[in-house]
Structures are given as structure tokens and as C-alpha cells.
Amino acid sequence: MSSRFDVYDMIALIRPRPAMYIGEHSLACLRSFLDGCFFLAEEHGIETGEHPGFGGFHDWVAKRFGWYESTAGWCNIIVEECGGKQGEALDRFFELIEEYRRTA
């Protein structure tokens, strides 16, 4: 039996009730949670496929907001664009990830 972790399924599960999964309505908490999921998957040989934390999503978010480069990472860019408001940034992330999936 092969195991697979689909980050988009996880995001869809978290979106309606973030605090239940990540403790509070915060993009930084979501990022930490997803990082933990990817670490666990890697440690146990679970396939992850494409995910928004690396590569394409970083660059897409930077371009979407007119940043020169994506070295700040998608989480920091979104939080900055939301005036440092973690809750607002989390809501914006959910919108952006849908847009990214439609256009990428």
C-alpha cells in the first residue's frame, strides 16, 4: 500500500475551521503546520507531489504582488501585503492558492 500526502486536500480540510487544525487564525501557524506535514511525509517516505511551499508558489506570489524576487517566501510576502495581520493573511492565502491552481 502506497501513501500519499496531498497538500491541496489538507488546505481544503483546514480552510473552513483553521483553529481546529492549526490552533489560531494565522498564516504563520498554517505555514508551520504544512512544514511539519512535509517533514513527516519525507521522514516516512510518503509521496507529496507538488505543493505550494516550494518553487512555483513562491515565485507566483512574488510576481502577483509585484515583488522583485521571492526570497522572502510566500508566507512573509502575503503577511507583509496584509499589513502584518496574520488572520487577514490566512484568508488571503486561501484565495491566492485557488487563483494559483487555476492559473499555474
Domain ranges of the chain: 7-103
Cell of 2: 502506497
Q: What average pLDDT does this structure show over 4-10?
A: 86
Give the pLDDT confidence of 41-82 residue by residue, as tens digits. Answer: 889 888 877 665 566 888 999 999 999 887 889 999 999 999
Evaluate if residue 102 carries a pLDDT over 60: yes
| 47 vs 13, more confident | 13
* Chain Cα centroid distance, residue 19: 15
Asked if 8 contacts 15 with a C-beta cutoff of 8 angstroms, the reply is no
Cell of 8: 491541496
Asked if 90 contacts 30 with a C-beta cutoff of 8 angstroms, the reply is yes
* Chain Cα centroid distance, residue 47: 17
Q: What is the chain's mean pLDDT, rounded?
A: 89
